[in-house]
């Protein structure tokens, strides 16, 4: 008879192999590719060069020389690692300056840096809500928002995507004293906007707070890059809890939460994903400060991104392709079947175009897609080449 530990390991291995095989059978198995070189319009991967249409580098800043230079100079000053959590001795002058600049940029009293967007969302919701409270989220919210609600142990409910009437019904039925409504500003897989104007009005009427994860809108949406709140002309009173990530349109890494003095001080005290993790390297904060300056100074990047989106959508409409109604940099082409999405993605790679196939469980079953993302760094010729490759591959 095998010892108990060996028996357990055998059972664990068997279970894991069964789960992996089930994912392969469902055409949902994920694989990694090894990229050589920087993020950009052209991507070098495993000896081949591709036109890149699946990055979240919406403004083309991930490899910008001024941002890289700021990173290197700060690394020479502060070193590579931050050494500790913010509340020990890892909070540098670069971190503090970036928080102040992000607060000013978003029109909030304070901002607080987190090491990742996932940690920010989990930390905020679990710090603010507890058993007996209500967390109400859009059905298509990012996984980090869902996990934050589960971690909080509050009453977690969801409403049909962008259905304000359904959200209202949920809020009216709840007797919770504290109610938090949580949505993405722009949804990561569908690319559409949340109806923040209507949700904000609803929250005020129902005495609820509104939290917006603006990961895919800040820096690249709105006339001055202030995201979905700017699109709807909403203030900090309308959206008291704003989350942004820095690894997408800002082109660096990390995340932040912006809000009132009381909110930020509370998160410093109670957000476990802030208190108990190592701070971002100071050099990343310095690079983000350089990025933030470019975001505010170079409006042409957003204008060019808008032009690229318009071109792609107009040409796709002429082809009769099943694009979702998105005006953002995220342009999902719905193929439905998982195997079909994988096949088309493979054909595109063979033609030198990189577009990832997105399948369940990331998206609902039957909605497998190509998640095409556009950037200010794309030229018209790049988009025309993508369109031609799609015609040959679909």
Write out pLDDT tens, residues 43-102: 998 889 999 999 999 999 999 999 999 999 999 999 999 999 999 999 999 999 999 999
96 is catalytic: no
- Rounded to 5°, the CA angle 182-204-227 comes to 50
Whole-prediction pTM: 0.93
pLDDT band at 6 (very low <50, low <70, confident <90, very high): confident
Which of these is catalytic: 86, 95, 142, 216? 216
Which of these is catalytic: 188, 291, 328, 375? 188
174 is catalytic: no
The answer to whether 112 and 268 have CB atoms below 8 angstroms apart is yes
pLDDT band at 3 (very low <50, low <70, confident <90, very high): low
- Calculate mean pLDDT across residues 320-347: 93
Residue 386 has pLDDT above 60, yes or no: yes
- Calculate mean pLDDT across residues 128-143: 97
The CA dihedral of 249, 255, 257, 258, to the nearest 10 degrees, is: -40
161 is catalytic: no
pLDDT band at 1 (very low <50, low <70, confident <90, very high): low
Query: pLDDT tens, 151-203?
Result: 999 999 999 999 999 999 999 999 999 999 999 999 999 999 999 999 999 99
The answer to whether 326 and 190 have CB atoms below 8 angstroms apart is yes
DSSP state of 241: E
Which of these is catalytic: 248, 304, 378, 382? 248
Q: What domains can be seen in the chain, in order of their start residue?
A: 34-58+299-393 (3.90.1150.10), 65-297 (3.40.640.10)
pLDDT of residue 374: 98
């Amino acid at each position: 008879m095998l010892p108990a530990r060996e028996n357990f390991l055998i059972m664990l291995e068997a279970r894991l192999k069964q789960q992996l095989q089930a994912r392969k059978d469902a055409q949902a198995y994920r694989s990694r590719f090894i990229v050589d070189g920087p993020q950009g319009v052209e991507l070098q991967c495993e000896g081949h060069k591709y036109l890149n249409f699946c990055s979240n580098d919406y403004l083309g800043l991930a490899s910008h020389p001024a941002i890289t230079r700021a990173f290197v100079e700060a690394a020479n000053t502060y070193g590579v690692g931050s050494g500790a959590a913010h509340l020990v001795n890892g909070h540098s002058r670069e971190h503090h300056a970036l928080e102040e600049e992000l607060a000013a940029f978003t029109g909030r009293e304070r901002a607080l840096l987190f090491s990742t967007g996932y940690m920010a969302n989990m930390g905020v919701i679990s710090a603010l809500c507890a058993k007996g409270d209500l967390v109400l989220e859009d059905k298509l919210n990012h996984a980090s928002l869902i996990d934050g609600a589960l971690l909080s142990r509050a009453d977690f409910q969801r409403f049909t995507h962008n259905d304000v009437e359904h959200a209202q019904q949920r809020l009216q039925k709840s007797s919770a004293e504290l109610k938090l409504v949580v949505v993405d500003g722009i949804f990561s897989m569908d690319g559409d906007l949340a109806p923040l104007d209507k949700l904000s009005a609803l929250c005020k009427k129902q005495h609820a707070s509104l939290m917006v994860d603006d990961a895919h809108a800040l820096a690249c949406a709105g006339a001055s890059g202030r995201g979905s709140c700017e699109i709807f002309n909403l203030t900090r009173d309308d959206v008291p809890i704003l989350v942004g990530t820095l690894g997408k349109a800002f082109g660096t890494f990390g995340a932040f939460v912006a809000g009132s003095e009381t909110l930020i001080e509370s998160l410093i005290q109670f957000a476990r994903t802030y208190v108990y993790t190592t701070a971002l390297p100071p050099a990343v904060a310095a690079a983000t400060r350089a990025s933030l300056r470019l975001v505010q100074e170079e409006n042409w990047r957003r204008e060019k991104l808008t032009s690229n989106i318009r071109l792609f959508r107009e040409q796709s409409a002429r082809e009769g392709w099943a694009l979702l109604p998105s005006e953002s940099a995220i342009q999902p082409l719905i193929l439905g079947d998982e195997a079909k999405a994988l096949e088309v993605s493979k054909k595109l790679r063979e033609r030198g175009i990189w577009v990832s196939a997105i399948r369940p469980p990331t998206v609902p079953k039957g909605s497998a897609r190509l998640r095409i993302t556009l950037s200010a760094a794309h030229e018209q010729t790049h988009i025309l080449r993508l369109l031609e490759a799609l015609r040959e591959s679909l």
